[in-house]
Amino acid sequence: MARKGRIPELDAPRGRSGMLARTPRPSRDRFGRGTEWIARAMGTPWFLIALTLFCVAWISWNTMAPNALRFDSAANGFTALTLVLSLQASYAAPLILLAQNRQDDRDRVQIEQDRQRSERNLADTEYLAREVVALRMKITDLSEEIVTRDSLRDALKSFVEDLDARAAGESEEVVAEREERRERRERAENAERRARER
């Protein structure tokens, strides 16, 4: 037998009948922000000045005011003032500790984010270093290819000159002298290339 009841609404998630069904919960973050605000306020010179003025006013009132208006006796050592200051200190210490714990949590998260960021930077740096090395190797290969083309061109040029000289009937001594000049020029060019590569 099918259950009869409400037809489910397809435009809203299950289990929610609206905003009124939610029960408000106190926010931990709001309480934490409050404790941090109190801890920050207690660490300011204005708080110390205000507390000092409060104590001076309390002691002055209870020593100089008429007896009927005094509420804390100097004969008892200002017991009420001592209790008020003890109460303030007993609340201040845990509030400061809560604020420090929140700051520690934030610092821990920040340290983790910094560690992750430095790992990414290291990985990026290593990648870029590998890329630079690959580019250098490619440039070196290209420069060697260019040198090979140049030397091939020079060899062909000298071969053509030798053929022309033999066809023109030049002596072996003239050909040998030209060959020696070419070798000197090649050595000078090779030395110049090596100097540029360094």
Token pair of 35 as six digits: 């404790």
Cβ–Cβ under 8 Å, residues 76 and 133: no
Burial 93-112, CB ≥16 within 10 A → b, else e: eebbebbeebeeeeeeeeee
Q: pLDDT tens for residues 121-140? A: 999 999 999 999 988 888 88
pLDDT of residue 182: 78
Q: pLDDT tens for residues 82-129? A: 999 999 999 888 888 888 888 899 999 999 999 999 999 999 999 999
Token pair of 18 as six digits: 């609206």
Cβ–Cβ under 8 Å, residues 85 and 79: no
User: By C-alpha distance, which of 181, 126, 173 is closest to 154?
Assistant: 181
Q: How far apart are the first and last CA of the chain?
A: 92
pLDDT of residue 165: 74
Cα–Cα distance measured from residue 194 to residue 143, given in angstroms and rounded to the nearest whole number: 11
Cα–Cα distance measured from residue 173 to residue 180, given in angstroms and rounded to the nearest whole number: 10
What CA–CA distances, in Å, run from 123 to 111, 117, 127, 145?
A: 18, 10, 6, 33
Cα–Cα distance measured from residue 121 to residue 54, given in angstroms and rounded to the nearest whole number: 54
pLDDT of residue 138: 85
Cα–Cα distance measured from residue 178 to residue 170, given in angstroms and rounded to the nearest whole number: 11
pLDDT of residue 108: 94
Q: Which of helix, strand or coil describes residue 72?
A: coil
Ranges under pLDDT 50 in the chain: 1
Whole-prediction pTM? 0.45
pLDDT of residue 140: 80
pLDDT of residue 157: 81
